[in-house]
Structure 1
Amino acid sequence: MASITSLGIGSGLDLNGLLGQLQQAERAKLEPIEQQRQEQQVQISAYGETQGALSGFESAANRLNDPSLFEGRNAEVTGSAVQAAADNEAAPGEYGVTVDQLAAAGSLATQRVDDPSAEISSGATDLDLTFEDAALNTTVNIAADSTLEDIRDAVNADPEAAVSASVINDGEGYRLALMSEETGEQASITGTNFDAVADQATLSDATVTQAGQDANLEVNGIAITSTTNQVEGAIQGVTLDLQQQGSSTVTVTRDDDSIHEAVTDFVDAYNELRDTTGRLTAFNGAEGEPGALIGDSAVRMLESSLRSDLAAGVSVDGEQHLLSDMGLSLAVDGTLNLDAEQLDTALADDPDSVAGFFTGDSEEGGLAGRLSVTAGQLLDQNGALERSISGAENRIDSLNDRYELTEQRIEQTIDRYRTQFGQLDSMMAEMNQTSAFLTQQLSQLGGSAGGDSMG
Structure 2
Amino acid sequence: MASISSLGIGSGLDLNSLLDQLESAERQQLTPIVQQQKSYLAKISAFGRLENALASFQEAAAKLADAESFQAVKADISGESLAVSADEQAVVGSYDIEVTQMARRYSIASAGLADKTELLGAGSIDFTLGNGESFSVSMDTKDSSLEGIRDAINGADAGVTASIVNDGSGQPYRLVLSSSDTGTEAAITAVNFTGLGGQLSLDAATEVQARNAELTVNGIAIESRGNRVEGAIQGVVLNIDDTGSATLDISRDSEAVQKNVETFVSAYNALQKTLSELTGYNAEAGSAGMLLGNATVRGVETQLRNLMGEAVDGAGFSTLSDLGISLQPDGTLEVDEEALDDALANRLGDLAGFFAGAVDDSEGFASRVDAALTSLLGEGGALENATGGLESSVDGLEERYERTEARIEETIARYRSQFTQLDSLIAQMNSTSSYLTQQFEALSVQLDQ
- The TM-score bracket by the shorter chain reads 0.7 to 0.9
CA contact under 8 A between 2:150 and 2:162: conserved in structure 1?
A: yes
1:329 aligns with 2:361: no
CA contact under 8 A between 1:111 and 1:194: conserved in structure 2?
A: no
Looking at structure 1, the residues matched to 139 and 446 of structure 2 have their Cα atoms a distance apart, in angstroms, of 142
CA contact under 8 A between 2:258 and 2:344: conserved in structure 1?
A: no
Correspondence 1:68-147 to 2 at 5 A = 68-120=68-120, 122-124=121-123, 126-133=124-131, 135-144=132-141, 146-147=144-145
Indicate the residue corresponding to 1:169 in structure 2.
Answer: 166
Looking at structure 2, the residues matched to 372 and 421 of structure 1 have their Cα atoms a distance apart, in angstroms, of 68
1:92 is displaced (CA, Å) by 0.9
Indicate the residue corresponding to 2:54 in structure 1.
Answer: 54
SS of the counterpart of 1:363?
coil
Q: Which one of 146, 154, 157 corresponds to residue 156 of structure 1? A: 154
CA contact under 8 A between 1:190 and 1:208: conserved in structure 2?
A: no
Q: Select between 366-375 and 334-343 the one with higher mean Cα deviation.
A: 334-343
CA contact under 8 A between 1:43 and 1:293: conserved in structure 2?
A: yes
CA contact under 8 A between 2:46 and 2:278: conserved in structure 1?
A: yes
SS of the counterpart of 1:239?
strand
Looking at structure 1, the residues matched to 182 and 28 of structure 2 have their Cα atoms a distance apart, in angstroms, of 87
1:428 is displaced (CA, Å) by 5.6
SS of the counterpart of 2:282?
coil
Decide whether aligned partners of structure 1 residues 3 and 129 sit closer, same or farther in structure 2, where only a CA change above 3 A counts. closer
Decide whether aligned partners of structure 1 residues 398 and 158 sit closer, same or farther in structure 2, where only a CA change above 3 A counts. closer
Higher Cα Rg: structure 1 or 2? Answer: 1
Indicate the residue corresponding to 1:381 in structure 2.
Answer: 379
1:250 aligns with 2:248: yes
Looking at structure 2, the residues matched to 448 and 45 of structure 1 have their Cα atoms a distance apart, in angstroms, of 86
SS of the counterpart of 2:186?
coil
Indicate the residue corresponding to 1:410 in structure 2.
Answer: 408
Correspondence 1:225-374 to 2 at 5 A = 225-284=223-282, 289-317=287-315, 319-361=316-358, 362-374=360-372
Decide whether aligned partners of structure 1 residues 96 and 439 sit closer, same or farther in structure 2, where only a CA change above 3 A counts. same
CA contact under 8 A between 1:8 and 1:15: conserved in structure 2?
A: yes
CA contact under 8 A between 1:279 and 1:285: conserved in structure 2?
A: no
| Aligned partner letter, 1:315 | D
Decide whether aligned partners of structure 1 residues 114 and 293 sit closer, same or farther in structure 2, where only a CA change above 3 A counts. same
Looking at structure 2, the residues matched to 196 and 4 of structure 1 have their Cα atoms a distance apart, in angstroms, of 101
1:96 is displaced (CA, Å) by 0.7
Indicate the residue corresponding to 2:22 in structure 1.
Answer: 22
CA contact under 8 A between 1:60 and 1:269: conserved in structure 2?
A: yes
- In the superposition, the TM-score normalised over structure 1's length comes to 0.85
1:35 is displaced (CA, Å) by 1.0
Decide whether aligned partners of structure 1 residues 444 and 214 sit closer, same or farther in structure 2, where only a CA change above 3 A counts. closer
Decide whether aligned partners of structure 1 residues 212 and 429 sit closer, same or farther in structure 2, where only a CA change above 3 A counts. closer
Looking at structure 1, the residues matched to 126 and 109 of structure 2 have their Cα atoms a distance apart, in angstroms, of 14
Deviation track 1:267-322 (CA, whole Å, cap 9, x = no partner) reads: 232222222222122223997532221111111112221221121122234x5521
Q: Which one of 371, 389, 399 corresponds to residue 391 of structure 1? A: 389
Looking at structure 2, the residues matched to 39 and 90 of structure 1 have their Cα atoms a distance apart, in angstroms, of 56
- In the superposition, the TM-score normalised over structure 2's length comes to 0.86
1:416 is displaced (CA, Å) by 4.9
1:52 is displaced (CA, Å) by 2.1
Decide whether aligned partners of structure 1 residues 445 and 348 sit closer, same or farther in structure 2, where only a CA change above 3 A counts. same
| Aligned partner letter, 2:191 | T
1:335 is displaced (CA, Å) by 2.0
Looking at structure 1, the residues matched to 269 and 109 of structure 2 have their Cα atoms a distance apart, in angstroms, of 68
Looking at structure 2, the residues matched to 119 and 285 of structure 1 have their Cα atoms a distance apart, in angstroms, of 95
Q: What is the total number of aligned residue pairs between the two structures?
A: 445
1:112 is displaced (CA, Å) by 3.4
CA contact under 8 A between 1:327 and 1:343: conserved in structure 2?
A: yes
Looking at structure 1, the residues matched to 194 and 431 of structure 2 have their Cα atoms a distance apart, in angstroms, of 131
Looking at structure 2, the residues matched to 437 and 209 of structure 1 have their Cα atoms a distance apart, in angstroms, of 129
Looking at structure 2, the residues matched to 16 and 191 of structure 1 have their Cα atoms a distance apart, in angstroms, of 105
| Aligned partner letter, 1:178 | L
Taking only aligned residues, the RMSD between alpha carbons, in angstroms, comes to 3.3
1:4 is displaced (CA, Å) by 5.5
Q: Determine what percentage of the aligned residue pairs are the same residue.
A: 43
1:176 is displaced (CA, Å) by 2.4
Looking at structure 2, the residues matched to 421 and 176 of structure 1 have their Cα atoms a distance apart, in angstroms, of 103
Looking at structure 2, the residues matched to 177 and 2 of structure 1 have their Cα atoms a distance apart, in angstroms, of 88
SS of the counterpart of 2:313?
strand
Decide whether aligned partners of structure 1 residues 329 and 445 sit closer, same or farther in structure 2, where only a CA change above 3 A counts. same
1:105 is displaced (CA, Å) by 1.6
CA contact under 8 A between 1:33 and 1:399: conserved in structure 2?
A: yes
Looking at structure 2, the residues matched to 417 and 112 of structure 1 have their Cα atoms a distance apart, in angstroms, of 105
| Aligned partner letter, 1:200 | Q
1:111 is displaced (CA, Å) by 3.1
Q: Select between 244-253 and 351-360 the one with higher mean Cα deviation.
A: 351-360
Q: Select between 99-108 and 410-419 the one with higher mean Cα deviation.
A: 410-419
